Amino acid sequence: MSSPILVPAAQLQTFVSALFVNAGMQPSAADTVAQALVWAELRGIDTHGLSRVSFYLNFMHKGIIKTQPTFKVLQDTVAVQVLEADASAGAVAMQQACAQAMDKARAVGLGLVMVRDTTHTGALGYFTQQMARQGMVGVAFAASLPLMAYHGASAAGVSTAPLSIAVPAPHGEPMILDMASGAVSMGQLKQAKIFNSPLAPGLALDAQGQPTTDPQQATIPMPMSGPKGSGLALMFEMMASLVMMNPIIADYLSDKPGGRRHRQNAWVLALDVARFCPLDQFIQELERTVASIKQLPTADPEGALLMPGERGQACYAQRVHAGIPMPMNLIKELSELANARGMTVPW
Amino acid sequence: MSSPILVPAAQLQTFVSALFVNAGMQPSAADTVAQALVWAELRGIDTHGLSRVSFYLNFMHKGIIKTQPTFKVLQDTVAVQVLEADASAGAVAMQQACAQAMDKARAVGLGLVMVRDTTHTGALGYFTQQMARQGMVGVAFAASLPLMAYHGASAAGVSTAPLSIAVPAPHGEPMILDMASGAVSMGQLKQAKIFNSPLAPGLALDAQGQPTTDPQQATIPMPMSGPKGSGLALMFEMMASLVMMNPIIADYLSDKPGGRRHRQNAWVLALDVARFCPLDQFIQELERTVASIKQLPTADPEGALLMPGERGQACYAQRVHAGIPMPMNLIKELSELANARGMTVPW
């Protein structure tokens, strides 16, 4: 493969936003989605970055993502809101949910927004880190289509449910845990296929439900730590999808008409730290905790002990200056999308 | 080993409660702790059952668990309470936290009680299932002493932080996820030692921090799925311990005087399902989701697909009728405790 081209983040964002406006989105909403995707690229989460642009545009074209959704507040208390997202682009609904959750947290200490019937929420760390920058503990998880093996099954039964938790940390750079409930992500399976790199045992099943290490055959991720990963994913379905009367797993697995339509449900929770602990004290104690762990002996003498999100933050710091490395296949894909629309490209 | 004696749960509970009263607890508080331990035995969670009695009595004797704690409400909003537990027996503080969290959830949809400076919270499923029986989504997690390896370290740096989520399910029997963030639990390491059964690779380190499969050498659990398990445990420390200004990890690892004192901090969260979805509909949809997963093909032709807590519930149903199997070493240990206090034993 030829080496990737470096493109400044701001130019990519303007370009991607214009593509979404061209597809029918309002400029501010298009900016929100573009920002979330570019953030993921900056953090090195390529699987949730610009590779999603064509997928989103395709969903918009088919009406699976509505470009002009009608948000409705279905329930609202001082502490909880249910936001009907009407198949909105995920980032737009999640962004609004964060703002509402924080408003409630500022008022009563804690705020939860349950987001109903949204679409691909993307890298959840983008939302939790924004809340943490505002002095919150930010928590988000999503329920999605069952593409991961249920523990003990030779078929997919639950989603690779993502969970993110972020807390305020020094220099305004939150500590962000961004994980999923699979032993491996769908994106990692895709990468393994591209590079034809064998998988470790216990990570994936083939399309027939047999365990495999062959990257060309691996299709279904296995759950993290067996019953823990699939149990957590199942509980997210109960807490988000069932509580909001928008079941995903049962409709999908029972082949109900429309049951395989792409959709997600999510929780966005904010806790206002300063209500319970002075924020500077929280950050000092976090630094002390990190320092106490960093001084532990490492298993690999050359290795370092990384905090949640530390690798992503280093990547961000590098890419925000140097630009985002765009592999040729992505350049080609996005160029074609732009050409078909008579738009200019930023490379 | 000789076969265990079966003892009725009610008799064990009366006996254990009397031991705690003898140690200085109020009868109602002693009952609460005894109920939580007997529940764990009934569910087959032996590591959090009656094997803890001598450990609790020893802690009471030393004042590490206060038999007459003074609870204080440090913060209270319509949605959140901070409960200072004053080194109470964990179950007593957690029980009160559940009641308060549910009261808030009934009022505003969601309630969080953060429990500060409690002691061993025990099997968290005992608390979340009680909330689920009252129509709540119940969530609980605890931060504790750093006895588990941090990912990449050859030493302990975070706790095997437990997390439980329970939801209402048919026949008044909640679905309960009860997990910890370790690849293996401290209790499982203890069991492996007793039975001298070799461990799978990747589960534990020896006291020198080297990976081992030797059950006699295994001392430090490794985290579930590497950075996910230790990251989640670290975030629980931030969310519970640091937010409530009662740091555990930093004090422990820096050898601060008193820093190794046994203590825990916890979150107890309740969401009132009926506020968002009719409870009978929620339960029907849960049944439909379970049925859709249960019909998936199993990896092992003889195997079954189990829902979170299903094994524990079956064990409960059996033991509540047949009695709790008490191994001879536990009979001996509890008999000695009773004899020393001039108390009669229930076997």
The enclosing domain of A255 has a CATH number of 3.30.1370.60
- List the beta bridge partners of residue B141: B163, B267
In a domain, B255, yes or no: yes
Q: What's the pLDDT score for residue B2?
A: 62
Q: How many CB atoms lie within 10 A of CB B50?
A: 24
pLDDT band at A2 (very low <50, low <70, confident <90, very high): low
Tell me, yes or no, if B154 comes closer than 8 A to chain A by beta carbon.
yes
Instruction: State the average pLDDT over residues A277-287.
Output: 98
Q: Are residues A111 and A168 in the same domain?
A: yes
Q: Are residues A193 and A326 in the same domain?
A: no
Q: What's the pLDDT score for residue A190?
A: 86
Which tokens in the block code for residue A235?
């509980």
In a domain, A301, yes or no: no
In a domain, A246, yes or no: yes
Tell me the nearest-neighbour CA distance from B5 into chain A, angstroms: 31
Q: Are residues A163 and A194 in the same domain?
A: no
Tell me the nearest-neighbour CA distance from B292 into chain A, angstroms: 6
Please name the residue of chain A whose CA is at the shortest distance from the CA of residue B151: A305
Q: Are residues A123 and A15 in the same domain?
A: no
Place of tokens 């750093």: B146
In a domain, A285, yes or no: no
Q: Are residues A19 and A82 in the same domain?
A: no
Contact residues on chain B for A140, CB-CB shorter than 8 A: none
* Distances in whole angstroms, Cα of residue B334 to Cα of each of A106, B56, B57, B167: 50, 12, 11, 35
Instruction: State the average pLDDT over residues A214-233.
Output: 97
pLDDT band at B310 (very low <50, low <70, confident <90, very high): very high
Q: What's the pLDDT score for residue B58?
A: 97
Task: Decide if pLDDT at B1 tops 80.
Answer: no
Per-residue pLDDT tens over the stretch A158-209: 999 999 999 999 999 999 999 999 999 888 898 899 889 999 999 999 999 9
Q: What is the mean pLDDT of chain A?
A: 96
In a domain, B237, yes or no: yes
Q: What's the pLDDT score for residue A47?
A: 85
Tell me, yes or no, if A327 comes closer than 8 A to chain B by beta carbon.
no
- List the beta bridge partners of residue B221: B204
Q: Are residues A99 and A143 in the same domain?
A: yes
Q: Which DSSP symbol is given to B219?
A: E
Q: Are residues A171 and A35 in the same domain?
A: no
Q: Are residues A10 and A95 in the same domain?
A: no
In a domain, B270, yes or no: yes
Q: What's the pLDDT score for residue A11?
A: 97
Give residue A28's domain range.
1-67+316-347
Query: How far is the C-alpha of A151 from the C-alpha of A137, rounded, in Å?
Result: 31
Q: Are residues A166 and A252 in the same domain?
A: yes
Per-residue pLDDT tens over the stretch A31-75: 999 999 999 999 999 889 999 999 999 999 999 999 999 999 999
Size of interface A-B (CB pairs under 8 A): 257
Is A120:A145 a contact under the CB 8 Å cutoff? no
Inter-axis angle of helices A27-42 and A125-133, nearest 10: 100
Q: Which B positions 250-289 lie with beta carbon below 8 A of chain A?
A: 250, 252-254, 271, 273, 275-277, 281-282, 285-286, 288-289
Nearest to B285 by CA among A180, A66, A143: A143
Q: What's the pLDDT score for residue B47?
A: 85
Query: How far is the C-alpha of A187 from the C-alpha of A49, rounded, in Å?
Result: 11
Place of tokens 């490395």: A325
Give residue A303's identity as a one-letter amino acid code. Answer: G
Q: Are residues A14 and A156 in the same domain?
A: no
Q: What's the pLDDT score for residue A155?
A: 97
Task: Decide if pLDDT at B107 tops 70.
Answer: yes
- List the beta bridge partners of residue A325: A6
Q: How far is CA B315 from the centre of its chain?
A: 17
Query: How far is the C-alpha of B136 from the C-alpha of A98, rounded, in Å?
Result: 24
Instruction: State the average pLDDT over residues A101-117.
Output: 98
Query: How far is the C-alpha of B84 from the C-alpha of A218, rounded, in Å?
Result: 50
Of A104, A179, A281, nearest to B245 by CB-CB distance is: A281
What is Dmax (Cα atoms) for chain B?
57
Q: What CATH number should be reported for the domain holding residue A208? A: 3.30.60.50
Is A96:A33 a contact under the CB 8 Å cutoff? no
Per-residue pLDDT tens over the stretch B191-238: 899 889 999 999 999 999 999 999 999 999 999 999 999 999 999 999
* Distances in whole angstroms, Cα of residue B140 to Cα of each of B40, B121, B125, B129: 16, 10, 8, 10
Task: Decide if pLDDT at B27 tops 90.
Answer: yes
Instruction: State the average pLDDT over residues B150-171.
Output: 97
Binary contact (A165, B235; C-beta < 8 A)? yes
Q: How far separated are the first and last CA of chain A, in Å rounded? A: 18
Please enumerate in sequence order all residues whose Cβ is within 8 A of that of B307, keeping only pairs 6 or more positions apart, or say none: A234, B175, B290, B293
Instruction: Report the percentage of chain B scoring pLDDT > 70.
Output: 99
In a domain, A157, yes or no: yes
Per-residue pLDDT tens over the stretch B37-71: 999 999 999 889 999 999 999 999 999 999 999 99
Q: Which DSSP symbol is given to A248?
A: S
Tell me, yes or no, if A150 comes closer than 8 A to chain B by beta carbon.
yes
Q: Are residues A9 and A43 in the same domain?
A: yes
Of B78, B110, B285, nearest to A242 by CB-CB distance is: B285
Q: What's the pLDDT score for residue A225?
A: 94
Of A152, A167, A298, nearest to B299 by CB-CB distance is: A152
Of A77, A298, A308, nearest to B235 by CB-CB distance is: A308
Q: Are residues A84 and A11 in the same domain?
A: no
Q: What is the mean pLDDT of chain B?
A: 96
Radius of gyration of chain A (CA): 20
Instruction: Report the percentage of chain A scoring pLDDT > 70.
Output: 99
Is B224:A228 a contact under the CB 8 Å cutoff? yes
In a domain, A253, yes or no: yes
Q: What's the pLDDT score for residue A219?
A: 96
ipTM value greater than 0.90: yes
For B171, left (φ over 0), alpha (ψ -120 to 50), or beta? Answer: left
3-state DSSP call for residue A192?
helix
Per-residue pLDDT tens over the stretch B127-149: 999 999 999 999 999 999 999 99
Number of structural domains (chain A) is 3
DSSP E strand boundaries for chain A: 5-7, 72-76, 80-84, 110-118, 136-143, 148-149, 156-158, 162-167, 175-180, 204-206, 211-212, 218-221, 264-272, 324-326
Is B83:B101 a contact under the CB 8 Å cutoff? no
